[in-house]
Amino acid sequence: MKKDKLVAPVVKWVGGKRQLLNDLTPLIPKRMTTYCEPFVGGGALFFYLQPSKAIVNDINQELIHLYEVIRDDVEELIAELEQYQNEADAFYSVRDWDRNPVFYQTLSKVKKASRVIYLNKTCYNGLFRVNSAGEFNTPFGNYKNPNIVNADVLRAVSKYFNKAEVSFYNRDYASVLEQLPKGAFAYLDPPYDPVSETASFTGYSKGGFGRHEQIRLRECCDDLNRRGVKFMLSNSATDFIKEQYAAYHIKIVKAKRAVNSVASKRGQIDEVVIRNYE
């Protein structure tokens, strides 16, 4: 399938892989029957590759609903986005829609999807963060000209979703990996093992991703390996992660640390790219 240059991430996501594309793409197997991203987030690699057959998953329901709306109702979504304003009062009023679950339930899927894009473009640092009650809690970003309605990209992504065979799921990653047949390839980009106690970031959704979760993921990788499914996994280069995956190929790459909100602390950090193939 021919690639469309306009196809790109529609939301900025914590841990987005845009800056690592040059390191990751040469490591991807040349042949695969199905491409799978069970922790898709903003999908930097997925949108870059534009595979003709893909299984895409994330535990974040709002995100997966957004992708489904882009596939099914892109023009309605664009029309909704045109209604929003980049002002603090408007921002906080839209942000707080989910504080009233009864009201939130009455919103259409398109309206909820437009809210995700609007908040993502206008909130501080584009950080999608929810508190322990699952409410979006990032403050207003006060940016001059956020690109709230990127109609060309949204239409291109919609066209890609409709042309390719893309299945969307909103589950725990393990149940998606279980169904992959031999010959499939999975790129795994889970929440990272924290490099220090304070670097811990668990705000993707309710619940966290601690070390027991990292071990459960490594066990899933062992299972993929036994079943003849190729996998490539990104994570931080902690001793713990390197020990977990000692049986596989581990490559160190340098990434910019983007999560820290203090600019001076956004240095370069080591990340690992782990594969079960040459």
Q: With binding defined as CB under 6 A, does residue 229 bind ligand SAM?
A: no
Number of residues that bind ligand SAM (CB under 6 A): 22
At residue 161, φ and ψ (nearest 5 deg) are -60, -35
Sign of CA dihedral 171, 248, 270, 213: positive
Nearer to ligand SAM, 57 or 214 (CB): 57
Q: With binding defined as CB under 6 A, does residue 13 bind ligand SAM?
A: yes
The structure tokens listed for 40 are: 């898709």
Q: With binding defined as CB under 6 A, does residue 60 bind ligand SAM?
A: yes
Nearer to ligand SAM, 76 or 275 (CB): 275
- Angle, alpha carbons 178-205-260 (nearest 5°): 115
Q: With binding defined as CB under 6 A, does residue 51 bind ligand SAM?
A: no
Instruction: Select from 10, 24, 56, 59 the one that contacts ligand SAM (CB under 6 A).
Output: 59
**Contacts of ligand SAM in 167-226 (CB under 6 A):** 172-173, 189-191, 204-205, 209
Bridging pattern class, strands 268-275 and 230-236: antiparallel
Burial grade of 57 (CB within 10 A; 0-12, 13-18, 19 or more): buried
Q: With binding defined as CB under 6 A, does residue 15 bind ligand SAM?
A: yes
Q: With binding defined as CB under 6 A, does residue 153 bind ligand SAM?
A: no
Distance of alpha carbon 173 from alpha carbon 269, whole angstroms: 26
Name the residues that contact ligand SAM, by CB under 6 A.
13, 15-17, 38-39, 41-44, 57-60, 172-173, 189-191, 204-205, 209
